[in-house]
Amino acid sequence: MQIQRIEAIPFAIPYAKTLRFASGEVDTARHVLVRVHTDDGLVGTAEAPPRPFTYGETQASIIAVISGLFAPALSGTSIFAREQVRAALHRTVGNPTAKAAVDMAIWDLVGQATGRSVTELLGGWTDEMRVCHMLGFDSPEVMVEQARRMRERYGITTFKVKVGRHPIALDVDVCRALRTELGDDIELYVDGNRGWTPSESAEAMRQMADLGLTLAEELCPADDVLGRRWLVRQSAIPFVADESVPTQADVTRELLGGSATAISIKTARTGFSDSQRILGQCEGLGVETVMGNQIDGQIGTACTVAFGAAFAATARRAGELSNFLDMSDDLLAEPLQIVDGRLAVRPGPGLGLTVDETKLAHYRED
């Protein structure tokens, strides 16, 4: 069962509501659908979301690296030789979401070929996760209203609040309003996307100390090396590294350097193979993880839940699995459903994904 060819198809689906955060904004999901074909007719599916403000990748660069380097390097490789696949991908530096999508599409093939779901192959812990919704920048009234709607309509009770604005009161007011209006039974945590300095971050966390926040993510840049260590030392809650940890070595550096005390695992950037390694690293070091969101569509979200549900350590917390609700449409023939605040792993072998070919024809850009 050998890899024969790889398609990298650009598509664009508008958002119903623009997501704004400290490092950028997204109003259209301009992603790349990755399809890995085998010599006996199986097709593995995943998607790569270009995030130039986080990893430097663009839709064009993802297509170029997959078509120009990864496809020729992998042609003829067995889908079961995952270490060979990984070695071939890692010969190229960077390009995390392009590598991750190819890796996950090949895991999808392994599942299809063996009649097992990817979740079973990875760890088989459970078949669903609690969902956390990400709230982008807006006024306190609008953000409270969105959270309320997510709770009423989908049963979601965990929210990651985007922060990192100036003045910091803009974000402090939002978090306070969410806690006051929605009560004590919702979980709230914050993600600064490097928007603040270490001292602004410390001041904001002081002002929000009574709000029962559970995690603080990338409040300031990891490149503020000493400032970030100073901030993390005084943090009363786990400090999550997200965009500062696209590789295993980055995880080691951030944790051992004292610049983070928890890790966001994003299958969109480390696929299944490297996410598995990062999870092992974190468990071995006694560090908590959260399943993060790379502003994923439904295919990316199905990948995140497939991985998150596979392990006890990743299924413990709510995973960031609902960004697709803010999109106007998607590519899956059977849309993902969040019910009672939970998202189930897709049934069936592999990742269980069927692309609606009419929708793909409509949204593809090549």
Catalogue the active-site residues.
162, 191, 217, 242, 266, 294
CA distance 208 to 205: 5
CA distance 128 to 346: 9
Backbone angles phi, psi at 58, to 5 degrees: -125, 170
Does 58 help bind ligand MUC (rule: CB under 6 A)? no
- β-pairing, 3-21 vs 24-38, is antiparallel
171 makes contact, choosing from Mg ion, ligand MUC, none, with CB < 5 to 8 Å by partner type, with none
Does 326 help bind ligand MUC (rule: CB under 6 A)? no
Q: Can you read off the two tokens belonging to residue 44?
A: 């593995």
Does 54 help bind ligand MUC (rule: CB under 6 A)? yes
Beta-bridged to residue 276, according to DSSP, are none
Query: Of 273, 276, 294, 304, which lies in the binding site for ligand MUC, with binding defined by CB under 6 A?
Result: 294
Q: What is the DSSP letter of 164?
A: -
CB of 73 to ligand MUC, least distance (A): 27
Give the residue from 320, 6, 272, 288 showing the smallest Cα distance to 156: 320
Burial profile 221-240: b = 16 or more Cβ within 10 angstroms, e = fewer: bbebeebbebbbeebebbbb
Does 97 help bind ligand MUC (rule: CB under 6 A)? no
**Number of residues engaging ligand MUC in binding (CB under 6 A):** 12
Number of Cβ within a 10 Å radius of residue 90: 12
Amino acid at 104: M
> 120 or 191: whose CB is closer to Mg ion?
191
Query: Of 23, 77, 78, 214, which lies in the binding site for ligand MUC, with binding defined by CB under 6 A?
Result: 23
Does 242 help bind Mg ion (rule: CB under 5 A)? yes
> 20 or 148: whose CB is closer to Mg ion?
20
Does 51 help bind ligand MUC (rule: CB under 6 A)? yes
Q: What is the DSSP letter of 244?
A: T
Site string for ligand MUC, 177-196 (x = CB under 6 A): --------------x-x---
CB of 293 to Mg ion, least distance (A): 8
CB of 297 to ligand MUC, least distance (A): 13
For ligand MUC, the nearest residue by Cβ is 54
Does 137 help bind ligand MUC (rule: CB under 6 A)? no
CA distance 16 to 297: 13
CA distance 228 to 189: 18
Binding residues vs Mg ion (CB under 5 A): 191, 217, 242
Binding residues vs ligand MUC (CB under 6 A): 21, 23, 51, 54, 191, 193, 242-243, 292-295
